[in-house]
Amino acid sequence: GQTDPTIAGTTQTWTALKAGAGQLDVRGINGIDLKAYDLEVRLNSASTTDPAAMATKLDWITLNAADAPIFGTTSITDAVDGINADLDFSVMGAIEVAIEDNVLLFGAFGINAQTKTIDDGNGIVVADASVLSFSISGATLFAGAGGALIYDDVTLRATGLEEGGTGIAVQDGNLELAIISEAATAAAPLSWLAAAGEIGQADLRGIDGAIAIARNITFRFNGAATDAAMVSTKLDWTGIDDFNGTRIGTIEETLDLSFGGQIELNIQNNVIVAADFAGKIQTVSNVTDGAGITVAEAQLVQFNLSSAYLFIGDGGAFTRSGDLPSGVVNGVADQGTGFAVTNAALNLYVVNETAGVAATSVRSWTGLYATASQVAPRGLPEGLEIAVTDIEVVFNKATVTALPGGVATKGTKLDWVNVVQFTAVPDVFDAGTDLKVAGTLTLDAFGFVDLGARFDLQVISGVQAQLDTDAALEDANLLLLGLTLTDPLFIGQPGGVGISVGSGNVAVALLSAVPDAVLTATVTTIPSATAITGSLGNATITN
């Protein structure tokens, strides 16, 4: 079933090997315990006496008893589990390592090397490629002092990690690494690398007053190969059949790096932090917002922070779902003295245009949206309460930078919602607003001042305004500031004389001209205009 691999006039040798061991121990090394379980080793090689020739490996699964009686009984020629012509070697099994009580490790591993043609289905075909893959799965690791493994009473194999010790512990660690290289006979061989992994939990142990835990950590990386002409390419690993069903098999050619997980940190109850996070960096072509902006090639960055809780001060603590020590963090306890942020989120989006050949400028865009349910001090004197709730921050910027090393000027903003390469973009950005900060302020100062008000600050660019008499319209920035009572305002003696305002608002608008990017004369004044309006309702004097 295989094309004749023999080379006339030479002596050739073909070797195939399958070997296994239930357990392998390294003994007699003081302080080091090393075991391997369920080992399997496979090898396929070919050699020739002609140094100018390239020997071809056998496809052993095509052989049967008709070729030689032994081929009818050996697993090497098994149609399902035999050795094919692609394989160079493979090693798989489980490992257990203990170096004193300082380094402890156990988990499954696999190494596989093949030589074959690779086609990623996206335009990259590599003949006679060297394909090396490495994996670790279900791994537990401890590095420090005083660590101890938990063993199964029957199999005597490690199954877990004791809680004690001082150091770093990793549980349910998984790593996949793959390298695909062009044949060594190529003029300048290229190599592509991909890595992917997940960690169930990693934590810092045995340091008094410090807790650091990371959970459900994931990452993906796609490394580019760069040729002599400085042209970079990346593989679409999702199109390579060898990686179907693996983490690496989920990596597309546009991906540079992605990561995510949850973190929790507590330092002496003075600084406590908990948050979910996710990020992605990718290089893509044809970025468009459907509103007139198209970018031929760009690097995109997306970072999301959610369910974030922070306390800085003394005596802080989290509240958790079900009031369980292992429950999900859902708040900052009303205790201690300091500053607390609850249920915060941040969404960051960046597009950086890749400069083309002979480009005279490059464009970049940044969008940021952040929210928080509450920002408030803790531990104030009884009767004094202050908090800012329902906080919202929007930042939107577009920049055009002249090349090489030229002046940066404002550009046209992206319609972020319609950039398909980003996911779950909130519909809060508009073409005019550069910055928006909004929230609700509540204040009760021992009953002498009682205030509830919604505030809103907004900066808008690209406004056309006539700021000089008889002058033409010119580019200006607009600053808007608003304050609206959400609860009646009281200032005075509690239960006595004071001023009460049932409703009210005030608004300020400031227009300011934008100087030219390249000045032709000395600027002595910048035209501006200001407007203020306000109203009060149900204002009374109490006694």
Beta-strand ranges (E) seen in 68-182 are 87-99, 103-119, 125-145, 149-151, 158-161, 166-181
SS3 state of residue 216: strand
DSSP secondary structure letters along 79-98: TTTS--TTEEEEEEEEEEEE
Q: What is the pTM of this model?
A: 0.88
Q: Which residues does 184 contact at the CB level (< 8 Å), separation at least 6?
A: 130
SS3 state of residue 254: coil
What does the pLDDT read at residue 174?
97
Q: Which residue has the tokens 């090639």?
A: 297
What does DSSP assign to residue 146?
Answer: S
What does the pLDDT read at residue 184?
85
Closest CA to 420 of 281, 292, 256, 300: 300
Q: Which residues does 328 contact at the CB level (< 8 Å), separation at least 6?
A: 320, 321
What does the pLDDT read at residue 4?
67
Report how far apart, in Å, the C-alpha atoms of 154 and of each of 21, 151, 159, 160, 161 are: 19, 9, 11, 15, 17
CB 217 within 8 Å of CB 196? no
Closest CA to 338 of 441, 390, 269: 269
SS3 state of residue 2: coil
CB 135 within 8 Å of CB 177? yes
d(CA 78, CA 100): 43
Report how far apart, in Å, the C-alpha atoms of 262 and of each of 276, 305, 318 are: 4, 10, 15
- Residue 329 tokens, joined: 């963090």
What does the pLDDT read at residue 142?
96
What does the pLDDT read at residue 228?
83
Q: Which residue has the tokens 């490394």?
A: 223
Closest CA to 25 of 10, 39, 45: 39
Establish how many alpha carbons lie within 13 A of residue 531's alpha carbon, considering only the half-sphere containing its beta carbon: 8
What does the pLDDT read at residue 54?
80
d(CA 301, CA 255): 10
CB count within 10 Å of CB 522 equals: 5
Closest CA to 70 of 60, 80, 81: 60
d(CA 280, CA 347): 12
What does the pLDDT read at residue 500?
93
d(CA 131, CA 191): 10
What does the pLDDT read at residue 66?
83
Amino acid at 392: E
What does DSSP assign to residue 520?
Answer: S
d(CA 30, CA 409): 67
pLDDT, tens digit (0-9, with 9 covering 90-100), for 85-129: 999 999 999 999 999 999 999 999 999 999 999 999 999 999 999
What does the pLDDT read at residue 52?
75
Closest CA to 310 of 367, 244, 377, 360: 377
Closest CA to 109 of 132, 134, 136, 138: 136
- Block means of pLDDT (10 residues each) for the chain, length 543 residues? 68 92 91 94 92 85 85 88 94 96 96 96 94 97 95 94 94 97 89 97 93 96 90 94 96 96 95 97 93 93 97 95 88 94 97 89 96 95 95 96 83 92 92 94 96 96 77 83 95 92 94 69 71 92 82
- Residue 204 tokens, joined: 């810092």
Surface-to-core class of residue 211, CB atoms within 10 Å of its CB (0-12 exposed, 13-18 middle, 19+ buried): middle
Closest CA to 481 of 517, 509, 514: 509
- Residue 88 tokens, joined: 């160079």
**Per DSSP, what are the bridge partners of residue 332?**
318
End-to-end CA distance of the chain: 105
CB 46 within 8 Å of CB 73? no
DSSP secondary structure letters along 417-458: GG-TTS-S--TT--SSEEEEEEEEEEEEETTTEEEEEEEEEE
**Per DSSP, what are the bridge partners of residue 198?**
174, 218
